[in-house]
Amino acid sequence: MSTVATPRQALAADPSLRPVVSFHGVNKTYPNGTSALRGVDLAIYQKDFVFLVGASGAGKSSLIRLLIREESATNGRIFVDGQEVTRLPRRKLPRLRRKFGIVFQDFKLLPQLTVAQNVAFALQVTRPGIRHLKERVEETLWIVGLEEKLNKFPNQLSGGEQQRVAIARALVHRPMIFLADEPTGNLDPDTSWGIVQLLLQINHRGTTVIMATHNREIVDLVRKRVIAIEKGKVVRDEQEGQYLKEGEATL
């Protein structure tokens, strides 16, 4: 018998070639009958930076909610880091969710805690008893450029700074995959650009980034992978893609 690996075996053996996220024929219909995702097939790799684009109601947030099992797929299979999310028992959900860092359009910071305390609190929840907590928090705030705002409260910060705190909080447990659902939705263009630069830097350090966005300028400037969703279906998936398909006037 030959000991030479077939291409398929070689692929399976090299973790950098294995998708970190995959969807196989995924459908999501909410209890009220709304069909949010239809037959979604996707593979996302560790080094990917993915823009999820599509009109309002296309299914971008639903896709993100299925990934972290905040919602369950109606049918189809979803894998994250080799684990089948769609079959995961409830008790294993915290471990699944620790693989992700998540930020949203609204920053969801705790107003009564300082910047450092907001970040530390998140780490204490996901990793109770973690050692070198202070150093981890400070290092993460340095990555997002907020090392001088450690002791400020959220209401003493600009919107862009608040989003950076949210990013630090999502990053502090060193997630494998960073999910950003419309992270620049409340920010002006310059500040939005700064946030995207930060996400690119996070991606450069080895974290997969999936960002749902309506921000055409950013998608067209960055030229990363673009997955377009229309009425729950993936209608376009391009490396170095653009916000709109050539010849398309609007989304």
Ligand X SMILES: Nc1ncnc2c1ncn2[C@@H]1O[C@H](COP(=O)(O)OP(=O)(O)OP(=O)(O)O)[C@@H](O)[C@H]1O
Q: Which residues contribute to the site for Mg ion (CB under 5 A)?
A: 60-61
Q: How far is residue 63 from each of residues 6, 57, 248, measured CA to CA in Å?
A: 33, 11, 24
Q: Which stretch binds ligand X (CB under 6 A): 13-21, 28-36, 81-89, 243-251?
A: 28-36
Phi/psi of residue 103, nearest 5 degrees: -130, 155
Question: Can you state the angle between helices 115-126 and 159-171, rounded to 10 degrees?
Answer: 30
Smaller CB separation from Mg ion, 61 or 140? 61
CA distance 98 to 176: 8
Residues 35-64 that bind ligand X (CB under 6 A): 36, 54, 56-62
CA distance 48 to 206: 9
CA distance 121 to 82: 29
Smaller CB separation from Mg ion, 61 or 192? 61
32 binds, among ligand X, Mg ion, none (CB under 5 to 8 A by kind): ligand X
Smaller CB separation from ligand X, 98 or 233? 233
Residues 173-232 that bind ligand X (CB under 6 A): none
Residues 57-116 that bind ligand X (CB under 6 A): 57-62
Position among 3, 6, 32, 112 found at the interface with ligand X (CB under 6 A) = 32
Contact 137, 165 (CB under 8 A): no
Smaller CB separation from ligand X, 77 or 214? 214
Closest contact distance (angstroms) between CB of 56 and ligand X is 3
What is 10-63 written as a DSSP string? HHHH-GGGS-SEEEEEEEEE-TTS-EEEEEEEEEE-TT-EEEEE-STTSSHHHH
Smaller CB separation from ligand X, 143 or 228? 228
In 3D space, the residue among 47, 48, 44, 51 whose CA is nearest the CA of residue 67 turns out to be 44
30 near ligand X, judged by CB under 6 A: yes
Output Rg (C-alpha) for the chain, integer angstroms: 19
Closest contact distance (angstroms) between CB of 57 and Mg ion is 8
Closest contact distance (angstroms) between CB of 185 and ligand X is 9
The residue ranges that bind ligand X (CB under 6 A) are 30, 32, 34, 36, 54, 56-62
